[in-house]
Structure 1
Amino acid sequence: MSRKIVITGVATAALLSLAACGGADDSDSAGGAVTLRYAMWDEVQKPPIEQSIREFEKAHPAIKVRIELNNWNDYWSKLQTQLAGRSAPDVFWDHVSYFPKFSKEGVLTDLAPLIAQDKVDTSIYDPKLAEGWKVDGKVYGLPKDWDTIGLFYSTKALKEAGLTPADLDGLTWNPADGGTFVKTLQKLTVDENGKHADEAGFDPKKVKQYGLAMQAPTGQQDWWNFALQNGCTLQDKPWGRWTIDQPACVQAVQFVQDLRLKYHVAVPATVTNPPNGPSLDQVVGRGEAAAAMDGSWMLRAFDTALPGGAFGVADLPAGPVGKGSVYNGLTEAVYAGTKHPKEAWELLKWLTSERHQKAVAEAGAVWPGIPSLNDVFADAWKAKGVDVTGFKKAAEGTTMGYPLTEAADVYNVKALDIFNQVWLGQLSPQDAAQKITTEANAAIK
């Protein structure tokens, strides 16, 4: 945007100043009612959200809400175009990887004065989620949900290997010999002759089922978690410089490479490498892998691939310094250029309320941003015969937020290329760590 929209002063002044800033087609009014545009990308969440919004509209007859649904990739390209053209939706989902850019561009409403004005109780949200959306005393969103990484597993594959879900609890790994985590994956890895990876005669070139599948363009679903468990910090400070070239980080990258190329217990990167590889739910669903490291947002996909309670979720293994998982969430954000700031704020308060988030959690659509409702979500999946408490254990333990950086776009592009070379054995973990650190830091202003 050529001109930044700055939100300052007390709540009333903020709302009045915003009213003068909207673009030509931000939203519309008809018959005395204001129509707000609300942007999202997850079709799974749409039904319970639509039902809740109908309740909101009954309680606020002067406000109508029009949902704009686009898939993940289209959502961000369209939103950024709309923001540049000053025609963005009034309320929209924001993600931590885009938040640094948006906060610098001034396209997000500072909610702090509005929270104070209406005495909104923000203590109901997980502070680990809420704090990441604050910059210099400004609040640019309220928690909508959370996600973390867990170990999806096929109950059939576990049973065939003589294992139970309980055997996945308490697993550990280390850079030297892989620990009990690798030993368990060896039991779950079977070649075409029925030999397991821990048995004599196992043929790593003719594997029928691997123990593990991984796929992460940035590192969020694989090596970032092992990095945390190994004492690695990806940045020197929030919004700071990347420090991936430190030994603890390099060891984590090496371990992920070893799972594929040394131990032969993980699906080769030639199969799963993004952006063209199959999704991990498909790999596990077809029996090509017994388990997968993936995000909680993939629950519905795994439920489709392994219906009837044929899968579960365990917590990740512990590394040399303990357990840990990448943990973050989305916020509901108000566009700083909305023509209807008061109404947009009312909608945001509803979307981040206990009433709304409970309704969405009861549908099993997403883990709620209000932790007191976590069991509501877990119970919804338990009723379907699926244990998802592995995610809850991860979220309540040691976690690492998604790295906040102005160089997110550069990192994401570089990481996809550089780490794919590592997983294919074309680049050493040490060289990759140095390369990504140098190139990503060069993009920080």
Structure 2
Amino acid sequence: MSSATRRTLTASTATRALSAAAATALLLGLTTACGSSGSGTSSDGTVTLRYAIWDAVQKPALQKSIDAFEKQHPKIKVKIELNAWAQYWSKLQTQLAGRTAPDVFWDHVAYFPQFAQQGVLTDLTPYIKADKLDTSVYDSKLLAGWEQNGKQYGLPKDWDTIAQVYNKTMLKTAGLTHDQLGSLSWNTTDGGTFVKALQKLTIDENGKHPDQAGFDAKHVKQYGLGLSSPNGQTDWWDAATQNGCKLQDKAWGKWTINQASCVQAIQFVQDLRLKYHVAVPASVTNTPNGASLPQVMARKQAAVVWDGSWDLNAYQSSLKGNFGVAELPGGPVGKGTVYNGLSNALYAGSAHPKEAWELVKWLGSEESQKIIVATGSVWPGIPTLNQDFVAAWQKQGVDVSAFAKEAAGTTIGYPLTTSSATYNVKVLDAFNQVWLGRQTPQKAADSVNEESNAAIK
């Protein structure tokens, strides 16, 4: 969904941004008929399941959920295996190849198509039917993201959208309000009210703004906006949605990022950096050791960033409540954002599939998700619990409801395709060249589109 970029990331930041290096490590010709997850059974019949995750921020809440699960299932123990995002996928793929994968593990939509095709995921449909599980409690868009050819390979664990995270003090100093920030719009002619607001938030070392005579674009003290994404999820995919672009012709179909509506959005994101000079340069953020968005905010390099809800704890740690969350601006066709989520996958080679299903079912239940959402670590896969997440953050003095408003509006899902690995490698290099002004948006989109489509299996 998620979720390493070509920059240094905190554990929570890395939950959704895809790693080009990990994505290229494809599994070939896997079979699981004789597989084993490496879990075990004790002499008294107690089964120990292995559960792999990558986010340290969520582990305490998950452990509370697991504790409750074990009380209800005294013959099942669960061992959480935490591996940071940078190592998570390469280790999991090695385990899958060696048939020693965890019984249950976090899955990302970018990897799901490959895993489903390779037969390493258990079809949950028979279990769902046998237990008469009510899947209507989940958002239908999230549930559909884990379905292929009538088979269900996961239950929604959580969800995320992209919004504008802002420094309250900087916003107030510029004479802007929360409501104003969330009601801005952009266009391809002059940037619209969005660019005008960013100009107020952008200041050079002499106190000049980009729309004032004498502004020095080479010596900017504070930028209005921070952007950074290895694949597009937290920047141009959102602008593309606001411009009517579709990343694919259909789910599991071909990439269409070289269509005019997509290229215009890419051009706009480039313009924010190179034409309007209101966004942090890519040389700061989009490099191997570049700054993450939470770091950009902590250093006060930008007043606003476009980021995912998975990073809320990172902002709270550095800004101590001095931040707010507003909806993304609207574009030529209106508002829109990327809407993504994770699932808990059941390894097809698990030696204890029935017990593993009990764990997957529990993690997808309202009882479990209420325990997890109370900590404010992640939005719940069951939308009726969204208000509980909002309440958890209200206790910390932060209104995060903008993320939920966006989820209820116009959204695009994370692309479902077997060519994610190729896309994530090609787009990283090509689009970084765009952000640096070394390649045109059209040329980059054409090349990435062509090579990604050629890799579809």
Q: TM-score, normalised by structure 2?
A: 0.92
User: How many Å apart are 1:25 and its aligned residue?
Assistant: 2.0
SS at match of 1:344: helix
Contact in 2 for aligned 1:48/1:359 (Cα 8 Å):
yes
2:293 pairs with one of 268, 272, 280: 280
Match of 2:79 in 1: 66
2:65 pairs with one of 44, 48, 52: 52
In structure 2, what is the Cα distance between the partners aligned to 1:89 and 1:27? 11
Tell me the alpha carbon deviations over residues 329-371 of structure 1, each in whole angstroms, 9 at most, x when there is no partner: 0001100110101100111111110011111111001000000
In structure 2, what is the Cα distance between the partners aligned to 1:165 and 1:117? 49
Q: Is 1:118 the equivalent of 2:145? A: no
The amino acid of 1:297's aligned partner reads W
Match of 2:409 in 1: 397
The amino acid of 1:392's aligned partner reads A
Contact in 1 for aligned 2:201/2:224 (Cα 8 Å):
yes
SS at match of 1:209: strand
C-alpha root-mean-square deviation of aligned residues, in Å?
Answer: 1.2
In structure 1, what is the Cα distance between the partners aligned to 2:37 and 2:285? 44
In structure 2, what is the Cα distance between the partners aligned to 1:210 and 1:24? 49
User: How many Å apart are 1:30 and its aligned residue?
Assistant: 4.6
In structure 2, what is the Cα distance between the partners aligned to 1:179 and 1:244? 24
1:343 pairs with one of 355, 361, 383: 355
SS at match of 2:253: coil
Q: Is 1:33 the equivalent of 2:46? A: yes
Match of 2:281 in 1: 268
Alignment of structure 1 residues 127-206 onto 2, 5 Å: 127-206=140-219
SS at match of 2:252: coil
Alignment of structure 1 residues 369-408 onto 2, 5 Å: 369-408=381-420
Match of 2:120 in 1: 107
Paired-residue identity, %: 64
SS at match of 2:42: strand
Alignment of structure 1 residues 209-228 onto 2, 5 Å: 209-228=222-241
Match of 1:326 in 2: 338
In structure 2, what is the Cα distance between the partners aligned to 1:304 and 1:22? 42
User: How many Å apart are 1:316 and its aligned residue?
Assistant: 0.4
Aligned residues: 430
User: How many Å apart are 1:2 and its aligned residue?
Assistant: 3.9
Contact in 2 for aligned 1:144/1:368 (Cα 8 Å):
yes
Contact in 2 for aligned 1:215/1:274 (Cα 8 Å):
no
Alignment of structure 1 residues 5-20 onto 2, 5 Å: 5=32
2:434 pairs with one of 393, 404, 422: 422
User: How many Å apart are 1:3 and its aligned residue?
Assistant: 5.1
Contact in 2 for aligned 1:217/1:274 (Cα 8 Å):
no
In structure 2, what is the Cα distance between the partners aligned to 1:198 and 1:46? 47
SS at match of 1:364: coil
2:324 pairs with one of 312, 317, 339: 312
SS at match of 1:150: strand
**Tell me, which stretches of 5 or more residues in structure 1 are unaligned?**
6-19
Contact in 1 for aligned 2:37/2:350 (Cα 8 Å):
no
The farther-off stretch of 395-404 and 22-31 is 22-31
In structure 2, what is the Cα distance between the partners aligned to 1:133 and 1:354? 19
Contact in 1 for aligned 2:273/2:435 (Cα 8 Å):
yes
SS at match of 1:36: strand
Q: TM-score, normalised by structure 1?
A: 0.95
In structure 1, what is the Cα distance between the partners aligned to 2:307 and 2:437? 22
The amino acid of 2:400's aligned partner reads V
In structure 2, what is the Cα distance between the partners aligned to 1:198 and 1:27? 66
In structure 1, what is the Cα distance between the partners aligned to 2:37 and 2:92? 16
In structure 2, what is the Cα distance between the partners aligned to 1:146 and 1:253? 25
Match of 1:301 in 2: 314
